[in-house]
Copies of this chain bind each other. A is one copy, B any other.
Amino acid sequence: MGIHCVAIGACGRGKMDTGVPRMAVRTCWAAAAGAAVVALLSAAIALHWPPLHAVLQRAFSLHTAHSTKDMENFFQLVRNIVPALTSKKHKGQDGRIGIVGGCQEYTGAPYFAGISALKVGADLTHVFCAREAAPVIKSYSPELIVHPVLDSSNAVEEVEKWLPRLHALVVGPGLGRDDLILNNVRGILEATKARDIPVVIDADGLWLIAQQPALIHGYQKAILTPNRVEFSRLWEAVLNDPMDTQNHSGSVLKLSQALGNTTVVQKGEHDLISNGQHVLVCSQEGSGRRCGGQGDLLSGSLGVMVHWALLAGPQKTHGSSPLLVAAWGACTLTRECNHQAFQKYGRSTTTTDMIAEVGTAFNKLFMT
């Protein structure tokens, strides 16, 4: 099964009873619909065949066995990329993930990203941060390997020597906007591209991309994960048109295209994922809690899953973009963690509570 324009929506509270969210699959030029599926159809975009009437037919078939099957197929694609845990495995095979971030003010974000990568299933995570941030990040967890190099004059060289051992890089959690550090990150991104290593870019990593979009333009192994503010900043950096605030899916598609089909995940009420050809909508039920750090859970998870998806190869993703499959999986997981934590802690939920849910959420979603 190839992925085209796909909208996936959890069925609200009812989902808790069955564990089976419902889904609509759409490949379309444009779409509009009634209240029952308005949340899904708000993501309607301009794309290609099949024509509108077929799309709407599928979009409205939310409650049929057919749509459940489509959804199941999509969950199955994620399941297909999750590596089996066999007794023959050795350390590092399931993921050695690098996190680039952590500075004077921000130390929590790279920790959240790193520990999330481990909890999802990576074997090792390396955090490359500013010297001052290193002891603090180390103190959060003995699970992380932390390199205090990001503000040094030879930071690029220091990170580059680790690149051959890394399967994916997450750039941005707690990065800050110090000029020296951002300049080093430029070099690290160039070295990462030169080695064809997948890279997830979030937070102030996106601030850097907005300053210099060419850094990532056209790189087919990059995924950008902007929130609303970061998305607007990127839009202004690479597009002259005003953004159509009513057409979120169209906007994410357009931004991805303007970045040379770099994959973009726009986080929001629904997460929209596009590689400039297709748009996925992830509407797994989360909660209204928006505490800081949730984006780091997503970027860390995505770091692992993009490695898995690329390693699994096209036969496992049935011809679909591995990056789209990984992004949909990480978004779904993050939202489920939010949902599970919120069920327990309500308004007092913090990101630490969400990360504690990764194991059960992952099993529920992808190991059944």
- Tell me, yes or no, whether A50 is within 8 Å of chain B by CB: no
- Residues of B within 8 Å of A348, CB to CB, are 118-121, 358-359, 362
Other-chain contact of A359, B107, B292, B346, B367 (Cβ < 8 Å): B346
A157 interfacial by beta-carbon distance below 8 Å = no
- Indicate whether A142 sits within 8 Å of B107 (C-beta atoms), given known contacts A84-B288, A348-B359, A359-B346: yes
- Contacts A136-B135, A139-B139, A290-B94 given; indicate if A108 touches B358 (C-beta within 8 A): no
Closest-CB distance, A89 to chain B (whole angstroms): 5
A288 engages B148 (CB within 8 Å): no
Point out the residue from B90, B105, B139 that lies within 8 Å of A268, measured CB to CB: B90
Q: What is the interface size of chain A, counting residues whose CB is below 8 A from a CB of the partner?
A: 66
Return 10 A-B CB contacts under 8 Å, by A number. A92-B290, A107-B146, A108-B145, A118-B350, A120-B347, A121-B348, A135-B135, A142-B351, A143-B292, A347-B363
A145 and B290 in contact, given A118-B350, A121-B348 (Cβ under 8 angstroms): no
A215 interface residue per 8 A CB criterion:
no
Chain B nearest Cβ from A9, distance in angstroms: 12
Give the oligomeric copy count.
Answer: 2
A residues 115-153 near B (Cβ < 8 Å) are: 118-124, 135-136, 138-148
Contacting residues of chain A (196-249) with chain B, CB-CB under 8 angstroms: 227-228
